[in-house]
Chains A and B, each alone.
Chain A
Amino acid sequence: MNLAKLLPRMFLGSSRLKKRKLFSVLCLLCVQVALSQQQISGTITDDQGIPVAGASVAEKNTTNGTVSDFDGNFEITTNSSNAVLVFSYLGFKTQEIPVGSSSTINVVMQEDLEQLSEVVVIGYGTQKRADVTSSVATVKSEDFVQGNVKDAAQLIQGKVAGLSVSAPSGDPTEGTQISLRGTSSILGGTNPLVLVDGVPGSLNTVAPEDIASIDVLKDGSATAIYGTRGTNGVIIITTKKGSNDMKSTIEYNGYMSLSTIANKLDFLDANELREKFNEGYEFNGANLEDYGANTDWVDEITRNAYSQVHNLIFRGGNATSNLTASINYRDIEGTFLKSNSEKYTARVSANHAMFDNRLKANIGVILSEQTYNALGDGSSFNPYIYRQALIRNPTEPVKDEEGNWYERDVYFYDNPVAYIQETIGENKFRNSRFDFSLSYDFGDHVTMKGLYTRKGETNIRGFYQTKNHVSTTKNGQDGYASRGTDDYVGNYGQLTLDYDNSFGKHKVTGLVGYNYEDNTNQGFWATNRRFPTDGFTYNNLGSGQGLQLGEANMGSYKDSDKLIAFFARFTYNYDNRYLLMASLRREGSSRFGEDNKWGNFPGVSLGWRIDQESFADNWDWLSNLKLRTGFGVTGINAGSNYQALSGLTYGSYFLNNGQWVRELVPSRNANPDLRWEKKEEFNVGLDFGILDGRINGSVDYYNRTTKDALFNYSVPTPPYFFGTIAANVAEINNKGFEFLLNVTPVKTENFDWTANLTYSTNTNKIVSLSNDEFQLTNDFFDEGYTGEPIQISTHRVQEGQPIGNFYGLKSVDINDDGIWIIERPDGSLVPATEATTDDRQILGNGLPKSYYSWNNTVRYKNWDLMVNLRGALDYEILNFSRMFYENPTITYNTLDSAYDLVYGKTELQDVQRFVSYYVEDGDFLKIDNITLGYTLPKDAIKFAQTFRIYASGLNLATFTSYKGIDPEVNRSGLSPGNDERDKYPSTRTFTLGINFTF
């Protein structure tokens, strides 16, 4: 028995181990006592000598078989003397060994690099990788991005072709932005459905350290079984779990990290401003004169952010029960003062088997509590503060001689340090999830499973601006406080019936199921002002006098919705050569119109394993070749509740006989035709593996069209009561290629190098924005907004064009007066002062046409090194910071570059304008993650089974011509590529971590 050797393995591939255990229990039950002719025993180990428990040992062409025990030992009595034993186990190559006369056979299992036998999680079940006919990617924990990740999605950043994950904000309470295969909806966003152990959740439901693997269902034939929200893909998170007959273990993961602003903008510092004064520059507003101090305002409100994360997992089990319990603590600091997030997450999952393992039960609980400071009313970060630090005169002091905050009366100009220090706020969130499931194996290939989950999320918020805050010192509010709370409760239930059988060369599985989900949201908030003291902060709202003076606000709401579905799936496998999967989901949502609540979402996919054909027998170099194709229909639910119902609202006030009464006005048109947005997707792919899987990968092509896409159309009143209506009108097409290549260039006893490359493309096009009923005669609408004082839209959404087009004036030159020269669409040139909105044209597109990544893992003896590179190509970014601050005429502090000669000719003297000069090439390459780890030799620490320390860096270096802070900017919505000037800057993080198990 060599537990010391076994346990390290378990944590490298824990989910695999779980299957192994379950399988072993099942097999033990199956073994029947038989007449013996020859008794054979032995040990099964992997190539590192670690015992393989639960491996199947079968006598070929008989029903005789057994499984290895916990220490890899097996015993079998064969029926014939010339027996051949077949050794197999998930993740390893199957071996056939003739027994001959030996009574002891020790088997060394070779790992199957192609992982064809790897289990892939698909909707409502699992499938062997070899049998998968749609586009599904799997990332295991050993391949996760390490370090201070924001959420589950960042674990697989750059690991899945076609899945773009970016972290545009450095706010510790903000997650990542995800998009899969382009933007498929106008109003529906790009967020995929996230399932945590089979139940809809979020990327933050469980701690990243608690995740064993993440599967991504990409194409329509795979996601059609999830109909409703399958359009943007499905991310399936599987948590780390214990298994039966498992020795009790405790696993610890922890790290400390340091984050800094990745890149700072170069604004004039105090000395540079004085130089400008000396050169004769005169400014209005902020930089009116030298106030004598040297203040770096961004430094004053930022810091080196130190964070710590600790994660403990307890696991263990006996023959019929097992338990997993984990607790996670994350204390994350943001780079701005007071910006933070402190979160506790605990998870317990207990499995219990009865009646000879036929009845299996699971009870699970996930609880979390998160607290963070609120610098904005209800939000973690207040972008206004960062803006004030950027634009403030660097010669102003933070405080005056008397110790008061230094303030001046300039338009929208407040001391950012005061703003932070005189604001007190806290948001607290609590999440809970209770799972209960039962499954019963009827024995004749039929299993039934029921699952019920109750989810809840509550938050309570408090916010206070003291009497020293500008809300009082400039705007006379005499203290401002607000409180608010929201409450969410959801019920989720699911009932499935599984069938699984083989008839000779025919393998069949079937699934039918029912799904119920409801969600209820409610909440209220209130504000008040004119407090007698700062001492109460937000804790005594009633003590303010604003309520009596009509200056207090309050509100409350409640809404709910339901989703109900029936679904079925059928798979067929003939001789491991021809594969078929077909599914159908019929789903209804309460949000839709009376006549259109239900939608049907079919999916079908086919696979052909070419390498299994007889003509491929001689192609020894070929280990896998599979052609896949599929078609599926998925839907997007309406964005908010009650959109189909006509609505009335008590609106603004009206003076009636000396009293103010509320008017009653229509707020929404009835739309009984409101129905599902449907996306049809065709996918064709090829999986390949050569040289024993040393080189393997896949290529996919997809073409997806969203029909009946929802958009808020302007409608004439009358006949409509309200001026806009959400209608299913638009059509959007996305197509592209995805390449994945895994290569193991070196694999020796002491040295391994595996490389993983992905490349994906996307071409987006808005096919139509109108139908017979709803028309845009000009086939476009404008989106995005520069904000004050430029006040113009940034993007145009137009038929025949892709989403994300920048639309504005094309600057080509500057005249002697420092005014932009604009090239009109007809090619003629005019000064910007004479250009009109009709002179605008397409200036680029904010969505990358392709993404690529190159991930390397190198192991040398006990050292491991991961280097991940990532990038995006062929897109533009509108640099708001330059558009607003690279201009010497403004009344605030400017970028150093504001005094550069434009087009090498003259300084800019024009007003702030949205012109193509600020639309920059966004292409980039990032050295995103480097991790160096060292695993202590096995006997170095007695109590620990494994002990690894590592150092990691995130967002380490960026190669780009983009002049802003980070070329990974907001890519969601209809105005992607706008690098907003107030964005919380992204961070660079260095991490030192330990993992150990004992």
Chain B
Amino acid sequence: MKNINNKVFSLKTRISILAACAFLVQLGCTDLEEEVFSEVTEASFTPSQSDIVSVMASAYTPMRYVMGWQGWFDLQEEPADMFVTPTRPNGWDDGGTYKRMHFHEWTSTQWQPRNTWINCFNGINSANRVILQIESGQLPVSDEQATAIVAEMRALRALYYSMLVDSHGNVPIIASYSDELPVQSTRTEVYNFIVSELTEVIPSLTETVDVSTYGRMTKWAAYHVLARVYLNSEVYAGTSNWDKVIDACDKIIASGAFELSDSYSDIFSTNNEGNSELVFAIPYDQIFAGQWNAHMKMLLPDHRLVFGMQAQPWGGSSCNPQFIDSYEPNDKRLSDTWLMGDQLNASDGSVVMTLVKEMPSIYDCDFTDGFRCGKYEIEPGATGGLSVDFPFLRYTDVLMMKAEALLRTNKSDEAATIVTQVRTRSFDNLADATVTGAELEGDTTVQYGTLAEDGTIADAGDQTAVPYGRFLDELGWEFAGEARRRTDMIRFGVYQTKSWYNHTPKGDYTTLFPIGLEELNTNTNLGQNPGY
């Protein structure tokens, strides 16, 4: 037995052990610096010349939301008179989101307008960030390069604003990065901002149209955007600007950089890059940039067999029969745009299914009810992301904008010449392609009114003649499914007044979407649009 007082270590030893431990604790770090391995932090990043394109890219990539899920396509087409997404056997009620779009009964939590807000401001903020980085010298660029990049970013910013002025109208103009919360501007101010920005930067923009400027803002793309906002200036700012539309269009026409594509369907083919019509395209790629899934929403699951796809589409949206009925008999754009009737198996030619025109009700449609948009090529092996580049601004639109401006300034025959020129490629017979000024001044040929389940008109609603309604039809046939029908219908006063399919007019206020709840929540400077 040992004595309890028999110490193993002396006092001195023990004190030194304690001191050593205390030292170890001090040494054993109180250092809490974060070590970063697979991320880039602002602090650790110094941009080089090769990073400039990557930094600028972030201002362009948000544009790809256009044909993405609940993107610009849905925003422009779902509330209009062509596309309807009814309840089908596999669902598509989706909490009523598509019915709200069709009925114009959206709220501030509706996703399609929110996506537009988010993506456009994402692009605007990125453009501003690039400008800030150039102006503050963070990016290693020459003065010449700096001028060109700033001009391109400002033009791109104006493009985003041209979408926002159309969708939400009263949005904040953010022309630089600051610590202040953005302040709301009126729709007219936004319109004026777009016009002045584009006018100012156009001289500095490139005139080159080749692979190096493909999908980028050139001088011609800027003129195109300018023409578009002038075309709608009565809606945006209360005054028309038809002559300026013609001026801007003439600049593009005179450049000689573009011409009408001989083939209508070539414009929408998988390999449409470099098509002579494309003023500004949004490049998509199955592998690198696969956001285009609008085709998945329109095609049926069994179209996998029809096109030999590597994906099974979801089968939601189809065409309102009233619009199909409006086509002229020999217009090849009907079959170039819509998948109709028997759908044949790509491998053996057997009938996979038969699409019918009729769509009984937005509450209850079968899979095969309604014609589907087949305008954009589905190549064999296509997946959930289509490789077609979206023709956001195309030369036909330049001609048609000029024609509309002429038509509305009492030069209907000049307008008719242009429209005939555009129609020629879509008719076998020149006589069928030819239209007259008087025809273009006439009423629309779409039979408006709500539809009963048997496809007859249930309630005709407002049947007042639409001024230049026939020209609106021409826009519809030419640009069906090109994410613009809503804008055109508003300009012609149809959107706010007519009934179609299961839709009845709700009032002028629906020409603007409500500002999103989350945007109102995070920025107290914002007020809701009138009527909401």
Interface 9-mer from B93-101, B147-155, B260-268: B93-101
Contact B381 A778 (CB under 8 A): no
Is A654 part of the contact surface with B, judged by Cβ < 8 Å?
yes
Determine if A29 and B4 form an interchain contact, defined as CB atoms under 8 angstroms apart: yes
Q: Which residues of B contact A442 (CB under 8 A)?
A: 9, 14
Pick the residue among B89, B181, B519 that contacts A719 (CB under 8 A). Answer: B181
Whether B25 pairs with A495 at a CB distance below 8 angstroms is yes
Q: List 23 A-B contacts (CB under 8 A).
A: A29-B4, A32-B1, A411-B90, A475-B310, A560-B37, A564-B32, A588-B32, A590-B32, A642-B36, A646-B42, A650-B40, A651-B58, A656-B53, A656-B57, A661-B57, A662-B57, A664-B55, A714-B521, A719-B177, A775-B524, A778-B517, A836-B100, A912-B91
A410 & B7 in contact (Cβ 8 Å cutoff): no
Cβ-based interface call for B518 (8 A)? yes
Residues of A within 8 A of B6 (CB): 356
Within 8 Å CB of A644, what residues of B? 34
Q: In this assembly, does B254 line the interface, its C-beta being within 8 Å of a C-beta of chain A?
A: no
Q: B109 in the interface, Cβ–Cβ < 8 Å?
A: yes
The answer to whether A655 and B215 have CB atoms under 8 Å apart is yes
- Sample of 7 further A-B pairs with CB below 8 A, known A647-B40, A788-B94: A359-B8, A411-B314, A497-B18, A664-B57, A791-B97, A837-B107, A889-B89
Cα–Cα, bound, A534→B96 (Å): 45
Distance (whole angstroms) from the CB of B77 to the closest CB of chain A = 19
Residues A443 and B128 in contact, CB atoms below 8 Å apart: no
CB distance from A549 to the nearest CB of B (A): 8
Distance in angstroms from B123 CB to nearest chain A CB is 11
- Cβ of A111 < 8 Å from any Cβ of B? no
User: Least Cβ distance of A823 to chain B in Å?
Assistant: 17
Q: B100 to nearest A CB, angstroms?
A: 8
Q: Is the CB of A653 within 8 A of B4?
A: no
CA–CA, A355 and B8, complex, Å: 7
Mark the stretch among B283-291, B450-458, B465-473 that contacts chain A.
Answer: B283-291
Using a Cβ–Cβ cut-off of 8 Å, how many residues does chain A contribute to the interface with B? Answer: 103
Interface pair B30/A564, CB less than 8 Å apart: yes
A284 CA to B122 CA, complexed, in Å: 42
A-B contact count (CB 8 A): 253
Q: Across the interface, which residues of A come within 8 angstroms of B128, CB to CB? A: 718
- CB within 8 Å of A: which B489-532 residues: 517-524
Residue contact B211 to A719, C-beta cutoff 8 Å = no
Q: Nearest Cβ in chain A — how far from B227, in angstroms?
A: 25
B125 within 8 A of A: yes
The chain A residue with its CB closest to the CB of B35 is A560
Q: Are A411 and B301 in contact (CB under 8 A)?
A: yes
Query: B3 at the A/B interface (Cβ < 8 Å)?
Result: yes
Q: Is the CB of B211 within 8 A of A658?
A: yes
- What per-residue 1/0 map shows which CB atoms of A860-878 lie under 8 Å from chain B? 0000000000000000000
Residue B144 at the chain A interface, CB threshold 8 Å? no
8 Å CB contact of B125 from A592, A718, A837: A718
A721 contacts the other chain (Cβ, under 8 Å)? yes
The distance in angstroms between the C-alpha atoms of A644 and B301, with both chains bound, is 45
Query: Which A residues fall within an 8 A CB radius of B?
Result: 28-33, 284-285, 355-356, 358-359, 409-412, 440, 442-443, 448, 450, 474-477, 493, 495, 497, 514, 516, 522, 549-551, 556-562, 564, 566, 588-592, 597, 641-642, 644-658, 660-667, 670, 713-719, 721, 723, 775-778, 788-792, 833, 836-838, 889-891, 911-913
Report which of B287, B518, B520 forms a contact with A551, defined as CB distance below 8 A: B287
Known: A411-B312, A551-B287, A665-B126. A654 touches B53 (CB 8 A): yes
A514-B89 contact, Cβ under 8 Å, with A556-B38, A560-B37, A717-B122: no
Contact residue range for chain B?
35 or more
Q: Is the CB of A653 within 8 A of B289?
A: yes
B348 adjacent to chain A (CB < 8 Å): no
Known: A560-B37, A833-B363. A356 touches B8 (CB 8 A): yes
Q: For residue B366, give the distance in angstroms from its CB to the closest CB of chain A.
A: 7
Q: Is the CB of A837 within 8 A of B95?
A: yes
Whole-angstrom distance between the Cβ of A713 and the nearest chain B Cβ: 8
B58, B87, B289: the one within 8 Å of A911 (CB): B87
Instruction: Decide: B367 and A284 in contact? CB cutoff 8 A.
Output: yes
10 closest cross-chain pairs (CB), A and B: A789-B91, A654-B57, A663-B57, A558-B37, A550-B287, A792-B95, A284-B89, A646-B42, A664-B54, A653-B288
Measured between alpha carbons, how far is A493 from B94 in the docked complex, in Å? 53
Whether A665 and B58, one on each chain, are in contact in the complex, defined by CB atoms closer than 8 angstroms, is yes
Collect the chain A residues with CB atoms within 8 Å of residue B31's CB: 562
Does B292 have its Cβ within 8 Å of any Cβ on chain A?
A: no
CB <8 Å contact, A789 and B93: yes
Specify which of B180, B181, B214, B381 is in contact with A655 (CB 8 Å cutoff). Answer: B214
Task: List the B side residues contacting A655 at CB < 8 Å.
Answer: 214-215, 283, 285, 288-289
Smallest CB gap from A719: residue in B: B179
Bound CA–CA A282/B301 (angstroms): 20
